[in-house]
């Protein structure tokens, strides 16, 4: 394997990770922002108040985007294995 191939596979892996993690991260960020605005408006400073809504939001997002995430990961894995097999010849 050439260094260019390894760099290409690494770059594709990082892009795939960011792409598949983005929906859950965005959901957690939006929920966290909404809760922090609520806490600032009501002056409730409970640190544990954000955990349950964030966990629920991430779980629901994972249920919604799960098939798409699986498709992206299978496509990446298949492409990587095919590329490694073709280089090995």
Query: With a threshold of 0.85, does the pTM exceed it?
Result: no
The residue among 79, 58, 69 whose CA lies nearest residue 18 is 69
Phi and psi at residue 35, in whole multiples of 5°? -70, -40
pLDDT digits (tens, 9 = 90+) for 16-31: 999 999 999 999 999 9
pLDDT digits (tens, 9 = 90+) for 28-84: 999 999 999 998 898 888 878 888 999 999 999 999 999 999 999 999 999 999 988
Pairwise CA distance, residues 79 & 27, whole Å: 29
The predicted structure's pLDDT at residue 88: 62
Q: In Å, what is the CA distance from 23 to each residue of 14, 31, 41, 74?
A: 15, 12, 27, 18
The predicted structure's pLDDT at residue 9: 87
């Amino acid at each position: 394997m050439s260094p260019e191939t390894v760099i290409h596979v690494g770059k594709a892996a990082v892009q795939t990770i960011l792409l598949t993690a983005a929906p859950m991260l965005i959901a957690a960020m939006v929920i966290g922002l909404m809760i922090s605005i609520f806490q600032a408006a009501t002056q409730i400073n409970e640190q544990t108040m954000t955990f349950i809504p964030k966990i629920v939001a991430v779980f629901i997002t994972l249920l919604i985007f799960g098939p798409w995430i699986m498709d992206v990961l299978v496509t990446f894995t298949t492409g990587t294995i095919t590329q490694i097999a073709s280089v090995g010849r």
